[in-house]
Structure 1
Amino acid sequence: MTRTTLLERALIEEATKKSGLIWVQGGAGGPRPVWHAWLDGAAVLVGDGPGEQPLPGLADGGEASVTVRSKDKGGRLLTWRAEVAELAPGSEAWEAAAAELKGKRLNAPDSDRLTGRWAAECRVVRLAPTGDLDPLPDSSLAEPPAATPATTRDAVPAALPRLLFGLGRRKARGEG
């Protein structure tokens, strides 16, 4: 891990703001994709409630690793360390985060009472950059696909184009 420069802090903010999806890993388990909003120098997330994204391993006072993807290419751009803080429902920080997140929440079935449901059933978490950047890995970290009995479909039978488009009939009538 390296301490960030002013330019790198600006990159963390701009890249995270523009990316609609970040990969967060806190505690045990692998990184998880989460949607977020950027507010006052930190990423804010909502989850762990019915109909919302899971936030496993993100404990109040803990640390997390945040990987940001490039908006135009979708590839890994940078990975930064964050301090995790759970915001208390009803607090000024929670209200500001919930208002920002509500604008980013797509397809909410209960948009009129969304923040009330979040206060009662979900967690709002703030990920503030610590100033540490992880170096990018040398390899892609891609995993092989899981084994499955599913297969691709068979090749198209040779006679199918003639049946569908009547190619055989034209030749038989002398049109081809």
Structure 2
Amino acid sequence: MSSGVLDEAIKKAAVAWVSVGDGPAYALWCMPFETSLVVVSGPGEQFAPGLAEAERAVVRLRGDHGGLIVQSEAVAARLVPGSDEWTEIAPQLAGKRLNASGTAEELVARWVADGCALVRLTPVTETTVGSADLPSESHAAPPRETPARVETRRPFRLHRVTKR
């Protein structure tokens, strides 16, 4: 598979499905940076279990039609606060963060204080699988258990309501 498809998918990526080890894939908001993706996770940010400590992850990206077009194994590198890479990438990521309270500088300071993880995912081109080689069956999984799914009773009505 050509790396051109992978590079183009990375450039257009706003969401990537990332899985660590044998765990399920999570849809994560990301920012393209050069030939990699940057993801933030931690307290007050998105949930990405195991990604901060992982050395490798599987990244799935979608195309313009919304379907999966490329899948690749990626090297996961956690950015260290205060490093050159952190000072270059963190403000850019904070500026693109939607619905953030405060300025980009305040958001970056909160990430440092809360111990949030900024992870740079760099795809390994040799492990890339393009749309022609992807399996044709659905990768849909049953919904995971969640406390948000609670049955509620129907509202009580003393009298029958009629429409006019």
> TM-score per shorter chain, which class?
0.7 to 0.9
Question: 1:140: which partner in 2?
Answer: 138
1:57 corresponds, among 29, 45, 50, to: 50
Question: 2:76: which partner in 1?
Answer: 84
Question: Greater helix share, 1 or 2?
Answer: 1
Q: Distance in 2 between matches of 1:64 and 1:146?
A: 21
Distance change >3 Å, CA 124–CA 149, structure 1 → 2: closer
Determine if contact 2:79/2:117 at 8 Å carries over to the other structure.
yes
Q: Distance in 1 between matches of 2:49 and 2:144?
A: 22
Q: Distance in 1 between matches of 2:18 and 2:121?
A: 10
Distance change >3 Å, CA 61–CA 32, structure 1 → 2: closer
* Larger Rg over CA atoms: 1
Cα deviation, 1:60-83, whole Å, max 9, x if unaligned, reads 56111000012x322111111100
Q: List alignment gaps of at least 5 residues for structure 2.
A: 155-161
2:109 is equivalent to residue 116 of structure 1: yes
For residue 57 of structure 1, report the CA deviation from its aligned partner.
2.1
Distance change >3 Å, CA 40–CA 16, structure 1 → 2: closer
Distance change >3 Å, CA 110–CA 64, structure 1 → 2: same
Q: Distance in 1 between matches of 2:95 and 2:5?
A: 23
Question: Secondary structure at 2:124's aligned position in 1?
Answer: strand
Cα deviation, 1:108-159, whole Å, max 9, x if unaligned, reads 01335001111222111010111111341220122356797869x9xxxxxx
**Identity across the alignment (%):** 39
For residue 56 of structure 1, report the CA deviation from its aligned partner.
1.4
Amino acid corresponding to residue 120 of structure 1 in structure 2: A
For residue 16 of structure 1, report the CA deviation from its aligned partner.
2.1
Q: Distance in 1 between matches of 2:128 and 2:113?
A: 35
Q: Distance in 2 between matches of 1:37 and 1:27?
A: 22
Q: Distance in 2 between matches of 1:62 and 1:73?
A: 31
Count residues with an aligned counterpart: 148
Q: Distance in 2 between matches of 1:27 and 1:113?
A: 33
Question: Secondary structure at 1:96's aligned position in 2?
Answer: helix
